[in-house]
A and B are shown apart, each in its own frame.
Chain A
Amino acid sequence: EIVMTQSPATLSVSPGERATLSCRASQSVGSNLAWYQQKPGQAPRLLIYGASTRATDIPASFSGSGSGTEFTLTISSLQSEDFAVYYCHQYNDWPLTFGGGTKVEIE
């Protein structure tokens, strides 16, 4: 099983600042990596797939990078609606696995 490790577990950021979230895979997943955003009481929403492609209607403030085992999600300027939990997900190999999540909170 490919283990996905996200860091940090919690990220405290002020509105307007930049947030950088990391995700590491225990073995290469190529570019088969997605990022999801989840707000309390809501379903996850796809942000990034293929490690760096923004999903439909996702603002350009969200960007993804990386390949192999190291990935990054960057939110260039945090808005109030961006405070949420973010999960990375590898779909390169069975079983599909998710990271434990990074909670982005208001500092």
Chain B
Amino acid sequence: EVQLLESGGGLVQPGVSLRLSCAVSGFTFSSYAMTWVRQAPGKGLEWVSAIVASGGATDYADSVKGRFTISRDNSKNTLFLQISSLRVEDTAVYYCAKRRYHSYGDLDYWGQGTLVTVSS
């Protein structure tokens, strides 16, 4: 059974940094691209970042470029999202999702999400 479990969210003040993790099981993690998608309270889905299976290429939404860093540890079946200089508008549930192929594709499995609340 495919499972993705996010962690690392919480209530933080503006300007601080946070690292989100996504531990996966049930599939060969090193063979698939991964993404982060976020959802602000009561709003729709917003793609944040993506990384190919090898970790050799990444991409970011303009809204987070320069502040967010996606990475992965294929030996530990874990995806990360390093978030710096947090802003109030980064408040959202952050989902990790598996892509169908090694470098592209739809999002065929999702975690349950971790809530990041940025407030002073």
Contacts and interface: CB of A to CB of B under 8 A. Distances in A.
A60 interface: no
Given A43-B112, A44-B45, A89 B62 contact: no
A98 B100 contact: no
The main secondary structure of chain B at its interface with chain A is strand
A73 interface: no
Interface string B57-88: 00101100000000000000000000000000
A49 B44 contact: no
Interface in B81-120: 95, 99-100, 104-113
Interface residues of A, number: 23
Nearest to A6: B44
A95 B49 CA distance: 9
A92 to B, nearest CB: 9
A5 to B, nearest CB: 12
24 contacts: A36-B45, A36-B107, A43-B95, A43-B111, A43-B112, A44-B95, A45-B110, A46-B106, A49-B100, A49-B105, A87-B45, A89-B45, A91-B99, A91-B104, A91-B105, A91-B107, A95-B59, A95-B62, A96-B50, A97-B47, A98-B37, A98-B44, A98-B45, A101-B45
A91 B106 contact: yes
A100 B44 contact: yes
B21 interface: no
B47 A95 contact: yes
A55 interface: yes
Interface in B9-52: 35, 37, 44-47, 50
A49 B45 contact: no
A55 B100 CA distance: 11
Given A43-B113, A95-B61, A49 B47 contact: no
Contacts of B95: 43-44
Contacts of A43: 95, 110-113
